Chain A
Amino acid sequence: MTNRAIVGFSFVLAVVVSAALLGDRVVRRDAKPGRVTVLYWEKWTGQEGEEMRKVVDAYNRSQDRVFVKYLSISGVDQKTILASGGGNPPDVAGIWQDQVFQFADLGALTDLSSMAKAAGLGRDYYIHAYYDALSRDGRLWALPSTPASIALHVRPDLVPKRVATPETFPETLEELDALSDEISKQNPDGSLVLAGFLPSNPGWWHYAWGPLFGADLFKDGRPTVDSPESVRAFTWVARYAKRFGPQAVQNFQSGFGNFSSPQDPFMTGKVAMELNGVWKANYIHVYKPDLPWFAVPFPYPKDRPDLKGHTILSQDVLVVPAGAKHPNEAFDFIRFVQRQDVMEGLCASHGKNSPLNRVSERFFRTHPNKAIRLFDQLARSSHPIYPSRNGFFPRVNGELNNAFQEVNTGVKEPAQALRDAQVRIDGLWKTYRTQVADS
């Protein structure tokens, strides 16, 4: 071998060895000698992420046995799955509620029921709907980090005085439709100036339109999106597109700014009534603190008074991925987050309601959202609507989103769009049962 070859080979070898050593430093978990390091991946960035970091710091200060290493990570859901597949998942991951049963069906999560029971974190510790949304067949797959309930937000300066208070605001959908028709404004060329209400704005809960009309998306254990209630809901959705014209709605909406900006259509006065979560007040507080608004429960169909007070719930959750190196220590951290003082502090800083059954008066009094009592009350509704406790839900949600777009853009009639979605769902469901649920 020539000298040049030896030098070249040595160089390559040095690069490979350095990469291996540096790589090991990067993935090494031990952050504090003498303490068990729990790796925690969370989706939050910015202020929300910082608030959770404060909780992590408080936990790390509260004891000397476990150290939580907190990492804010984009695409946390997919990365957690892939890391689990590679045998090196985090010990705690912050994901979204609608993914919990998809992950559980894939075998990606640790059952928390026995640890939660031992820690006294039973159903009654929580507002029932939040706990129920995370458990199935006696097994608990996640616990809340911050939850939310959804309500209709109203601009009193854009609606007639007779309905400009929470007490006098319409309670039924028929009244909402009439009010929307009354206050919406279009130019002579058909272009919209003000929309009373638009089901497509902000467009985050299309799966819920059917249940808001009484539909059950998993009727007798079978995914069902073309029930009469769902068709009625999507016909109601289509009514808005037809009333203004699909093209006019599309053009109008393309002028909407991002919800987390001062160009948000509710804040700019392009939309007078908007379905949104408890967090909406945060953005109003930042971008238009003087904006007049109030929140009310979303109206119910006149012929279904039994649905009065129904609400959509969502929550960010903490899970322990299957194969986590330190599941007990991971749960110890999750248990800390569930403490009433810690949870209330975190939820208030995120502008959310608390998922816990007991809520302190101080939480209500100091909360930045003036309507926080309503959101708490909604979470306790006897008709909560949340993502179905089935791993197939993301597919149902995807098909309903597509059906919504087909209806809203006038491509298909509601019944046809839902029938087509049902046909596709039936095929996917068959495969899912064979390949995932029953395997």
Chain B
Amino acid sequence: MNRRRDARVGILFATPWIVGFGLLMAYPLISSFVTSFTNFSVLRAPKWIGTENYRELANDGVFHTSLQNTLLYALGAVPLGTVLAIGLAMLLNSKVRGMPVYRTLLFLPTLVPMVAQATLFLWVFNGDYGLLNAALRWCGLSPPNWLGDPMWAKWTLVMIAVWGSGQAMLIYLAGLQDVPTSLYEAADLDGAKSWAKTRHITLPMISPVILFNVIMGIIGSIQVFAVPQVMFPGGAPARSTYMFAMYLYDNAFLYQRMGYASAMGWIMFLVILALTLVALRLSERHVHYETQ
């Protein structure tokens, strides 16, 4: 009797989550999947068109461009962000006076809202009077026009991505602090140098954390939207910064092609799923779990 009553109470308390999940997650997911097989402009009833949206996507040059831009962005942003975040976490894990101040300072950029961040970097990367180019010119270099040159604009976004490394850095720091000091002491006894300790102790011990952050990084990179949308409206110059999520947004809200945008959403899901599976597969031999 008690168990049944407890179950009822449990379900009752879980109801807000169940309702929230059903209305805000499950229903939209199923709905978008069905919508991806329709022609739907919001104002007229959806019309079933089978796989037409997916067939059109296969031949859509701009879709291919946006996918390629996004993958290149992820390819640059994820490794760069990972290396930087691990490096910073290691520095912040050392025993130096005033460490809480350094930790706060390095985490602060993560708190800057994305639109403010984009606006700030429009100034930093300005080809004429930007801070970066002023510094490069001072070094005697001839810097490019980061925002106006199709060859450089995408890589500007990659560089901006590392600005948000604070979140990952914090997780790496927590992982580093969990590495048993006895391992380092044993390595010291064996005469291991600093790089050897990093390679054979630190990195293997935080490898599950690295895997987690890489997967989150992949998901975030494929969905990148706000910063390029503010800095490079319409994917300018010449669609060199036109990201997947921007094209999806334009189809949904600029051209009212909800079916097409839904199909794009599902392709995005499949791309993220595939990349996550690849990451998991590649990690099998390199990730060390303490329970193993």
Contacts and interface: CB of A to CB of B under 8 A. Distances in A.
Given A81-B256, A405-B236, A254 B127 contact: yes
Interface size class of chain A, counting residues whose CB lies under 8 Å from the partner chain: 35 or more
Nearest to A75: B253
A111 B49 CA distance: 29
Nearest to B15: A12
Interface in B37-88: 39, 41-44, 47, 49, 56, 59-62
Contacts of B15: 12
Contacts of B44: 106-107, 439
Given A2-B9, A255-B129, A405 B238 contact: yes
B204 interface: no
Contacts of B47: 435, 439
Interface in A413-439: 424, 427, 431, 435-436, 439
A5 B62 contact: no
Contact of B43 (A1, A5, A107, A435): A107
B16 interface: yes
Given A1-B9, A409-B149, A255 B42 contact: no
B148 interface: yes
Contact of B128 (A9, A107, A254): A254
Interface residues of B, number: 39
Contacts, number: 91
Given A255-B128, A439-B47, A8 B148 contact: no
A365 to B, nearest CB: 40
Contacts of B236: 405
A402 B47 CA distance: 31
A85 B44 CA distance: 8
A252 B43 contact: no
A82 B254 CA distance: 11
B97 interface: no
Contacts of A12: 15-16
Nearest to A398: B234
B9 A401 contact: no
B212 interface: no
Contact of B145 (A251, A322, A402, A424): A251
A102 B41 CA distance: 11
Given A8-B13, A395-B255, 8 more contacts: A1-B5, A81-B42, A85-B43, A250-B127, A255-B129, A402-B239, A409-B237, A436-B41
14 contacts: A81-B42, A85-B43, A250-B149, A250-B237, A253-B148, A254-B126, A254-B128, A255-B128, A394-B255, A405-B239, A409-B150, A435-B49, A436-B41, A439-B44
Interface of A: 1-2, 5, 8-9, 12, 78, 81-82, 84-85, 102, 106-108, 247, 250-255, 322, 394-395, 398, 401-402, 405-406, 409, 411, 424, 427, 431, 435-436, 439
